[in-house]
Amino acid sequence: MTTSPDSGLLKPGQIPREAAKRHGVPRHVAIIMDGNGRWANARGLPRTEGHRQGLDALRGAIRHAGQRGIDFVTVYSFSSENWSRPPTEVSFLMGLLRRFVQRDLSELHQANIRVRVIGARAGLEPGICALLDEAEALTRANTGMTLVVAFNYGGRDEILRAARQLAEAAAAGQLDPASLSEQDISSRLDTSDIPDPDLIIRTSGEQRLSNFLLWQAAYAEFVFSPVMWPDFDAAAFDAALDAFSARERRFGAVSAGGG
């Protein structure tokens, strides 16, 4: 049995990037990792244990995305609204990010993964900002998958920050409001160098966007998985990818058959 990309008989986990595009694999998958708290509650554990297991699930998802030939994975790891959680949970999540960067960065770098961080830096501890900067700087030249970590991220806040820049440029006479384009906005978002997501997965059965990638989600497909994030394994990820590949994306046009 051959496993060449053109044979149609690809072994799972061995889909090269170019072939992946021909087999309906999304180029960019964004994930709302939901259900950590409920996963922990169901087991009589503290919510923080759900987040700790959630970090393991994230490691598995990154590995699996690489094996499936996905180019960009964005994960919602702390929203601008998450500050309203109990202080112990907030500080646990901050610690988890710190541990993730300290323990996993060299492995991500060795795997040729580029790390990008989106979200507001204002309000974050300087030590965390320095770690995020280090992760981006170390992996800047990597050419494999891009892991986008949305941390202290909110879609409205991101659009607001872009609008403020545009208003300042207009006030300084550098921009004519009449000629404002979508590109003027896109290029001022945190994701200016990242393509829009093709697929957004939300785990835990909830069906909301929760302020995630509001502008970028315009033409994304949504898959809502019933699985709680700590249990989101390769099979659950593949089920979401299968659902995506069965969709027909029209981007506002009509289907190829004219229907």
Q: By CB under 6 A, is residue 82 in contact with ligand FPP?
A: yes
Number of helical (H) and strand (E) elements in the chain, helices listed first: 8, 6
Per the CB < 8 A criterion, the answer to whether 46 and 40 are in contact is yes
Would you say 149 and 117 are in contact if contact means Cβ atoms under 8 Å apart? Answer: yes
Least distance CB 29 / ligand FPP (angstroms):
15
**35 touches ligand FPP (CB under 6 A):** yes
Task: Kindly determine how many residues on this chain lie close enough to bind ligand FPP according to the rule CB under 6 A.
Answer: 19
Q: Would you count residue 131 as binding ligand FPP (CB under 6 A)? A: no
Print burial letters for 127-158: b (CB count within 10 Å at least 16), e (below 16). Answer: ebeebbeebeebbeebeebbbbbbbbbbbebb
Which of residues 77, 139, 146, 191 is near ligand FPP by CB under 6 A? 77
54 binds ligand FPP (CB under 6 A): yes
Q: Could you confirm whether 41 is annotated as catalytic? A: no
Q: In whole angstroms, what is the distance from residue 230 CA to residue 106 CA?
A: 23
Active-site residue among 82, 142, 184, 231? 82
Q: Which of 15, 26, 28, 37 binds ligand FPP (CB under 6 A)?
A: 37
Q: How many residues does the chain have?
A: 259
Tokens of 227: 């699985």
Would you name the residues annotated as active-site residues? 34, 82
Q: Which residues are at the interface with ligand FPP (CB under 6 A)?
A: 33-38, 51, 54-55, 58, 77, 82, 93, 96-97, 100, 149, 204, 229
